[in-house]
Amino acid sequence: MKKWIAGILGLAAGALVSILIFADFNPKEEVADQANVATNAQKVYVPFGQKDEYYLFASGGHSGQMFIYGVPSMRHIRTIPVFSPDSATGWGYDKHSKALMGKYSWGDLHHPALSETEGDYDGKYLFATDVANNRAAVMDLKTFSVSDILEVPNIGGPHCAAFVTPNTEYLFLPTRFAVPLGREYASLDEFSTKYKGVMSAVTFNEEKKKLEIAYQVALPPWSYDLSDAGKKISKDWAVMTTYNTEESTTEMEINASQADRDYIVLFNWRELEKMVADGQFDELNGIKMVDPEKHKGAIYLVPTAKSPHGVDVTPDGTRFVASGKLAPAMTVFSFEKAFKAINEKKFAGERNGIPVLDYKSVMEREVNPENALGPLHSQFDDKGFAYTTMFISSEIVKWNVATGETVDRVPVQYSPGHAASAEGDTVSPDGKYIIALNKIAKDTYLPVGPSHPESMQLIDLTGKKMEIIQSAPVDPEPHYAQMIKADKLSPLVVYPKDEKRPNSVWTQKDARITRNGNTVEVHGVALRSKFIFDSNAKRKDVISVKEGDKVVIHLTNIDLDQDITHGFGINSYNLNMEVQPGQTQTIEFIADKAGTYPLYCTNFCSALHQEMNGYLLVEPKA
C-alpha cells in the first residue's frame, strides 16, 4: 500500500517536473540561442592559413613555464620553459639553459611583463619572476626563448612583480615574504626589528642580454602583493599593495586581517635612482640597499581598505585603482591629489619612518557594485571603462573610471583571479577582448580526475553587453597574462648563419672530434637526415670516448630552412637538447657509464628522420 502511494506521488512529481520543463521551453529563445552560438563561433574561428590577431602570454605559475595562446581562437600555440626543465626543447639539459637554471628544478612564475616603449608594448622582450626561488627571467621574443635568469639575493618571494616602467628602465621586484636582512637566521620574535620586505630594482642590459641588480630597498616587514608602474603624468612613480602591516608571524589568515586599513606604497623611482647616485645607501652582500627610514623623500604610504590585492594604474596615468579582497569595494585614488599632499607635506602620520598620506585627501571615490564580492584586479579599455574581476561573486564588472558607475557585468566560471584585456595595462588599450583567468573550472571540460584544469574565458567587448565567446583549458596556473597585437612581434625565421659564432661548424667537412687530456670535444653538424661528428672517421656519426672522460658536444643545425629543427638525445644517458635551424647548442657531461649508447634525433625532421642516429661508445677503464 505504501509503495503504491509512493509510486503515484512519484509519477505526479514527474509529471509536474515535465510540465515545468515544457512551460520553460520557448522555441523562439532556442532558435535565438542557436543563432548566437553560430555568431560567437564565427567570432573565434580563425580559418586555416590565417593567424590570430593577438598573442596571449599567460604565466604558468608553479609549472615554471609561460604559455602562449592565440586570440581569438584560444588555441595553445607554444610553451616557453622558463624556470623548470622541459625535455621537448632540452631546456635545462644543454649548457646554456643548465647554467641559467642553476641549482633549481622548479619555479613559480607569476606575472609576465612585456617590455614597453613610451608605456606601450614594443614586442621585444618578456619578463617574469619566480616566487619560489627569487629569480627574474627575460625572454627574447625573436626566438621565444629565455636569454637570462638572475637569482636575486636578500629577498623572499618576488610575487609583487614583475612590472616594468614605461621605457623598460626598470623591472621592480617587491616581495611577498619578509626575511631578515641578508637572509641570516633571526628568531621570529625579532620580526619587527630584524625582518624586511626587500624590493629590488633590476635593469636589463639589452646589448649583453643580461639582467642586473641596480639597487634594493629595505621596506618594512610586510607582504607586498601586487604592483603597477605609473604612466604619463605618473611615469616616474609606481604603486604596490601591502598586507600584514600587522606584522604577524603566525596564523596569517586571522592575524594579517586585523587592521581596518593596510596601505598602497607609492614610490618615486627617479628619486630612488638619484639617492643611489648620491651614495645614500648601505651595502649588503655587494648590493646597494636603500633604507627609507634614513633616506626620505621617495616613498609614501596611502591607507586603503584592509588586505588589498591588485592595484592598477589607469591608461592616462591619472589614477590608481586598489582592490580589497576582503572588502566589497574598489578604491580609486588620484595621483594628482597624492602629489599635492606630498608637495605640501600634508601627512597623517608615519609608519616605520615612512610618511602616511591622509586617506581622504588622496582618495577620489569608493566603487561599490551591488553584491559584487572579492575584487582582485582591474584592466582597461579604450573608452574609459575598467573591468574588475570578482573572485567571490565569480564575475567581471565593467565600470566607468570617471564616474564609478557600474555599466555591465558578466558571470564567469568560476572565481577569476586576473583578467587580461587587449593591451589593457598600457597607455593605449585596444578594448575588443578581455580574458578571464579562472581559478576553478569545475566540470567545464572533459573530466580528467579530481583535479580539473584552470580555465580561460574569452569575452567580447565590442557589443552592448559583454559576452563570453570562447573558453580554453590551461595548465596551472595563469596568475596573469598580457595580450599583445600579433603584428608587433617579428620572430626569427632561422638563426642567421654566423661563421664567427664560437664553436659553430657550417660544413660537413669541418666536423671534428678532438681530445685534450681527459676532455673530448665534438664540433658536429646536424642536417637532414644525419649527424656528422667527425668527417675523417670511418663512422662519421659515432662518438667514441673512454669511461670517465669529460665530453663536450657542440652541434650546429646547418639546415637553414624554417621549422627544420633537429633534436639530440642519448639513450639512457638522461641527455637531450634541441637545435633549431641555424642554431649552435652545446651539451656537456662526464661519460661515467661504460657501454654502448644509441643517440638519435628526437625531433621529426624528414622522411628519413628514423635514420638520423648514431652511437656514443664509452670504452670501459682497463
Q: Which residues would be at the binding site for ligand RUQ (CB under 6 A)?
A: 110-111, 159, 226, 309, 376-377, 417-418, 479-480
138 vs 612 by CB, closer to ligand CUA? 612
* Grid cell of 34 as nine digits: 542557436
* Grid cell of 582 as nine digits: 641555424
Q: Least distance from C-beta 505 to ligand CUA, angstroms?
A: 16
Q: Least distance from C-beta 543 to ligand CUA, angstroms?
A: 17
Shortest Cβ contact with ligand RUQ: which residue? 417
423 vs 578 by CB, closer to ligand CUA? 578
Identify the CA nearest to 616 among candidates 553, 545, 548, 566. Answer: 545
Identify the CA nearest to 55 among candidates 71, 43, 37, 39. Answer: 71
Instruction: Categorise residue 563: left if φ over 0, alpha if ψ from -120 to 50, beta otherwise.
Output: left
Q: Which residues pair with 16 in a beta bridge?
A: none
User: Could you say which of ligand RUQ, ligand CUA, none residue 135 binds, taking C-beta under 5 to 8 angstroms by partner kind?
Assistant: none
59 vs 216 by CB, closer to ligand RUQ? 59
Q: Least distance from C-beta 559 to ligand CUA, angstroms?
A: 8
Angle, alpha carbons 167-170-176 (nearest 5°)? 135
Q: Least distance from C-beta 52 to ligand CUA, angstroms?
A: 28
479 vs 523 by CB, closer to ligand RUQ? 479
Sign of the CA dihedral with 580 first, then 586, 589, and 593 last: positive
User: Could you say which of ligand RUQ, ligand CUA, none residue 417 binds, taking C-beta under 5 to 8 angstroms by partner kind?
Assistant: ligand RUQ
108 vs 381 by CB, closer to ligand RUQ? 108
Identify the CA nearest to 241 among candidates 169, 296, 292, 313. Answer: 313
User: Could you say which of ligand RUQ, ligand CUA, none residue 306 binds, taking C-beta under 5 to 8 angstroms by partner kind?
Assistant: none
CA distance 622 to 608: 38
CA distance 388 to 397: 5
Provide the residue type at 199 as one letter: M
CA distance 92 to 577: 9
Percentages (nearest 5) of helix, strand, coil residues in the chain:
15, 45, 40
Residue found by looking up cell 657550417 in the block: 506
129 vs 565 by CB, closer to ligand RUQ? 129
Burial of 496: CB neighbours in 10 Å, binned 0-12, 13-18, 19+: exposed
44 vs 555 by CB, closer to ligand CUA? 555
**Which strands form 75-81's sheet, in the order they lie side by side?**
75-81, 65-71, 54-59, 481-485, 416-422, 431-438, 454-460, 467-474
Q: Least distance from C-beta 494 to ligand RUQ, angstroms?
A: 37
Q: Least distance from C-beta 438 to ligand RUQ, angstroms?
A: 10
User: Could you say which of ligand CUA, ligand RUQ, none residue 566 binds, taking C-beta under 5 to 8 angstroms by partner kind?
Assistant: ligand CUA
DSSP for 518-568 reads TEEEEEEEEETTEEES-TTSSSTTEEEEETT-EEEEEEEE---STT--EEE
Contact 579, 526 (CB under 8 A): yes
476 vs 595 by CB, closer to ligand RUQ? 476
**Which strands form 113-117's sheet, in the order they lie side by side?**
113-117, 120-130, 135-140, 145-151
Give the list of residues 6+ apart from residue 5 with CB closer than 8 angstroms, or none.
Answer: none
* Grid cell of 302 as nine digits: 596611502
- Interface ranges with ligand CUA (CB under 6 A): 529, 566, 601, 603-605, 609, 612
135 vs 377 by CB, closer to ligand RUQ? 377
User: Could you say which of ligand RUQ, ligand CUA, none residue 605 binds, taking C-beta under 5 to 8 angstroms by partner kind?
Assistant: ligand CUA
263 vs 300 by CB, closer to ligand RUQ? 263
Residue found by looking up cell 628544478 in the block: 105
Can you give the length of the chain in residues?
622
User: Could you say which of ligand CUA, ligand RUQ, none residue 612 binds, taking C-beta under 5 to 8 angstroms by partner kind?
Assistant: ligand CUA
User: Could you say which of ligand CUA, ligand RUQ, none residue 111 binds, taking C-beta under 5 to 8 angstroms by partner kind?
Assistant: ligand RUQ
Give the list of residues 6+ apart from residue 393 with CB closer than 8 angstroms, or none.
Answer: 371, 372, 373, 374
User: Could you say which of ligand RUQ, ligand CUA, none residue 110 binds, taking C-beta under 5 to 8 angstroms by partner kind?
Assistant: ligand RUQ
User: Could you say which of ligand CUA, ligand RUQ, none residue 376 binds, taking C-beta under 5 to 8 angstroms by partner kind?
Assistant: ligand RUQ
249 vs 603 by CB, closer to ligand CUA? 603
* Grid cell of 461 as nine digits: 567587448
CA distance 175 to 223: 7
194 vs 566 by CB, closer to ligand CUA? 566
Classify residue 493 by its DSSP letter: S
User: Could you say which of ligand RUQ, ligand CUA, none residue 309 binds, taking C-beta under 5 to 8 angstroms by partner kind?
Assistant: ligand RUQ
Q: Least distance from C-beta 587 to ligand CUA, angstroms?
A: 16
332 vs 587 by CB, closer to ligand CUA? 587
Identify the CA nearest to 365 among candidates 300, 306, 320, 313. Answer: 320
Q: Least distance from C-beta 525 to ligand RUQ, angstroms?
A: 44
User: Could you say which of ligand CUA, ligand RUQ, none residue 601 binds, taking C-beta under 5 to 8 angstroms by partner kind?
Assistant: ligand CUA
* Grid cell of 357 as nine digits: 598620506
439 vs 452 by CB, closer to ligand RUQ? 439
421 vs 556 by CB, closer to ligand CUA? 556
User: Could you say which of ligand RUQ, ligand CUA, none residue 479 binds, taking C-beta under 5 to 8 angstroms by partner kind?
Assistant: ligand RUQ
Q: Least distance from C-beta 614 to ligand CUA, angstroms?
A: 12
User: Could you say which of ligand RUQ, ligand CUA, none residue 544 binds, taking C-beta under 5 to 8 angstroms by partner kind?
Assistant: none
Dihedral (Cα; 475, 480, 485, 489), 10-degree rounding: -70
Q: Least distance from C-beta 56 to ligand RUQ, angstroms?
A: 16
User: Could you say which of ligand CUA, ligand RUQ, none residue 469 binds, taking C-beta under 5 to 8 angstroms by partner kind?
Assistant: none
